[in-house]
Amino acid sequence: MSHRFRHGDIEGYIMVVEDSQLEATMVKTLLKQHDYKVKVFHDGAEAFQAAGNEFPMLIISDVVMPVMDGYEFCEKVKSTPGLMEVPVILLTSLQDPMDIIHGLQSGADNFITKPFESKYLLSRVNYLLANRELRNAGNTDMMLEIMFKGSRYAINSERKQILDLLLSVYETSIEQNRALIEAQKQLQQANENLAIANRDLESFSYTISHDLRTPLNYISVSTQLIKQKHETDFNEEDNSYLSTILSTVRSMTDMISDLLKFSRSGNIKVDLQEVDLTDLTKKVIEWTRQDNPDRKIKFVVEEGMVVSGDASLLMVVMKNLLGNAWKYTSHTPDPEVHVESQKNDDHTIVCVKDNGAGFNPNQADNLFTPFVRLHTQDEFPGTGVGLSTVRRIVEKHGGKIYATGEVGHGASFFFTIPNG
């Protein structure tokens, strides 16, 4: 079926005004597939001049364009004898209510929001072409004045144009609302599926943890018994093998424990209260020293640090950060660790700084990735999970964590906590 129309003695065509080559091609291809004759222009000024030379039967125009935008172009069309009866569809994101006011002022007949559906655009085109001769029989020169956001706007569109334009906006809103409701349903289902997956993952973590720990315990105990019973019978190489087995088992056990802690950290709840971070930090340092009382390391802790957070979770944060500082300064002649803070209007920045091994700043993003380590086990043992857990806890508080450092010149870890 042909959709050809005639304006006087000139065969009608649809004018597409769009500065985006890609979108212009999409509209042109769609219309030509349905037997419409199409001419494309890339700015309003060029299109207006062409429309005066050869009247289009309908205009589809983008709003945001160089030289002359869609509103100005539409207004000029609607104020030009011979062109004013040509229906104009404006393509817009329609994110601001003022778009509707501008559309009414310019005399547009219809809005279509971007990105558009092909079926929807075609239905608007067919409707406007079929009804373009139907205009209100009243006085088309009558000016309509409206109030919006405390300002007056003069609207000289005909009543049918206004109705068509507002109905197109309403129809678009209904479609967007329907899409939003459907998206909410999908999001709710996704959340439910995620909750089930989290429960399954937690159950899996517990099971794996138990099932893996049991054989590891057998291996560890058996190896220790063999070593105790036959230590004098084995040569140095044999004893080295046994020591390797024991250290590997310990490393594997630590990894399983950290994996379990990390999986649990995703489900933690934050109980906000006022926390004396200075006192908490000093307790962690005291406990850390008890594990290695002969280690000489200088700790400098700022007095009067108070934040709004979960005391038990912040304890985990400081244990990991101070534990890292303790570990990575183990090869430093005069190790020092400083803990200080800075309170801003909306959050507090806490810094844990050491003069230890440091790290390559280009690899800073990898510091908080589970099981990714920047040092070998021979240099500094560990599993690479501690900082990942710290990040989860800080983010649960609504904060962020980041680090700076340089190889051989220490590292500084900063985390933010919103003020209560």
The last residue of one of the domains, among 157, 180, 213, is 157
Task: Tell me if 80 is assigned to some domain.
Answer: yes
| Model confidence at 382: pLDDT above 60 | no
Cβ atoms 410, 356 nearer than 8 A: yes
Cβ atoms 101, 149 nearer than 8 A: no
Q: In 76-137, which ranges are E strands?
A: 88-92, 110-113
The last residue of one of the domains, among 157, 180, 202, is 157
| Model confidence at 139: pLDDT above 50 | no
Predicted pLDDT at 5: 44
Predicted pLDDT at 31: 93
Predicted pLDDT at 340: 94
Contacts of 195 (CB under 8 A, 6+ apart): none
35: left (phi > 0), else alpha (psi -120 to 50), else beta? left
| Share of residues in the chain with pLDDT > 90 (%) | 25
Q: Using the structure block, give the residue that is written with the tokens 């709004």.
A: 308
| Model confidence at 171: pLDDT above 80 | no
Task: Tell me if 175 is assigned to some domain.
Answer: no
Q: Are residues 411 and 283 in the same domain?
A: yes
Q: Are residues 12 and 128 in the same domain?
A: yes
| Model confidence at 3: pLDDT above 60 | no
| Share of residues in the chain with pLDDT > 70 (%) | 75
Predicted pLDDT at 358: 84
Q: What share of the chain is helix, strand, coil (3-state, %, to 5)?
A: 50, 20, 30
Lowest mean pLDDT among 36-40, 105-109, 121-125, 307-311: 105-109
Q: Are residues 284 and 223 in the same domain?
A: no
Task: Tell me if 246 is assigned to some domain.
Answer: yes
Q: Are residues 200 and 281 in the same domain?
A: no
Residues 257, 386, 191, CA angle at the centre, nearest 5°? 80
22 sits in which H/E element: helix 21-33
345-355 pLDDT, tens digit each: 899 999 999 99
List alpha helices for 350-405, DSSP H: 386-396
| Model confidence at 274: pLDDT above 90 | yes
Mean pLDDT of 248-276: 72
User: The whole model's pTM is what?
Assistant: 0.46
Under DSSP, the state recorded for 410 is -
Q: Which residue has the higher pLDDT, 412 or 114?
A: 412
Q: Which residue has the higher pLDDT, 396 or 259?
A: 396
User: What are the φ/ψ torsions at residue 294 (nearest 5 degrees)?
Assistant: -85, -10
191 sits in which H/E element: helix 159-230
Q: In 21-150, which ranges are E strands?
A: 38-41, 58-62, 88-92, 110-113, 144-148
To the nearest 10 degrees (0 to 180), the angle between helices 70-78 and 98-106 is 30
Mean pLDDT of 237-261: 75
Predicted pLDDT at 112: 81
User: How does DSSP assign 245-277, residue by residue?
Assistant: HHHHHHHHHHHHHHHHHHHHHTT-----EEEEH
Predicted pLDDT at 138: 41
Residue 276 pLDDT grade (very low, low, confident, very high; cuts 50, 70, 90): very high
Residue 255 pLDDT grade (very low, low, confident, very high; cuts 50, 70, 90): low
Q: Are residues 18 and 140 in the same domain?
A: yes
Distance from C-alpha of 340 to C-alpha of 278, rounded to nearest angstrom:
9
Residue 230 pLDDT grade (very low, low, confident, very high; cuts 50, 70, 90): confident
User: What are the φ/ψ torsions at residue 419 (nearest 5 degrees)?
Assistant: -75, 140
Q: Are residues 101 and 126 in the same domain?
A: yes
Here the CATH number for the domain that contains residue 299 is 3.30.565.10
| Model confidence at 61: pLDDT above 90 | yes
Q: Are residues 12 and 150 in the same domain?
A: yes
| Model confidence at 77: pLDDT above 90 | yes
Under DSSP, the state recorded for 16 is E
Residue 32 pLDDT grade (very low, low, confident, very high; cuts 50, 70, 90): very high
Q: Are residues 144 and 64 in the same domain?
A: yes
Task: Tell me if 174 is assigned to some domain.
Answer: no
Q: Are residues 102 and 211 in the same domain?
A: no
9-29 pLDDT, tens digit each: 336 899 999 999 999 999 999
Lowest mean pLDDT among 5-19, 136-150, 208-222: 136-150
User: How does DSSP assign 88-100, residue by residue?
Assistant: EEEEE---STHHH
How far from the centroid of its chain's Cα atoms is residue 43's Cα?
34
Predicted pLDDT at 298: 92
Of 91, 100, 93, 113, residue with least CA distance to 15 = 91
Give how many domains the chain has, as a whole number.
Answer: 3
**Maximum mean pLDDT: which of 33-37, 100-104, 127-131, 378-382:** 33-37
The token pair at 126 is: 């067919």
Provide the domain limits for residue 212: 193-265
Here the CATH number for the domain that contains residue 35 is 3.40.50.2300
Distance from C-alpha of 40 to C-alpha of 35, rounded to nearest angstrom:
15
Q: Are residues 73 and 22 in the same domain?
A: yes
Give the burial class of 71: count Cβ atoms within 10 A of its Cβ; 0-12 exposed, 13-18 middle, 19 or more buried.
Answer: buried
Distance, first Cα to last Cα, the chain: 69
Q: Are residues 319 and 227 in the same domain?
A: no
Task: Tell me if 38 is assigned to some domain.
Answer: yes
Predicted pLDDT at 416: 94
Contacts of 198 (CB under 8 A, 6+ apart): 266, 267
176: amino acid identity, one letter: Q
Predicted pLDDT at 304: 93
Lowest mean pLDDT among 35-44, 363-372, 384-393: 363-372
Distance from C-alpha of 28 to C-alpha of 51, rounded to nearest angstrom:
17
The last residue of one of the domains, among 239, 265, 291, is 265
Task: Tell me if 205 is assigned to some domain.
Answer: yes
Task: Tell me if 169 is assigned to some domain.
Answer: no
Distance from C-alpha of 239 to C-alpha of 416, rounded to nearest angstrom:
48
Q: Are residues 118 and 246 in the same domain?
A: no
Cβ atoms 12, 56 nearer than 8 A: yes
Task: Tell me if 186 is assigned to some domain.
Answer: no
Distance from C-alpha of 352 to C-alpha of 193, rounded to nearest angstrom:
38
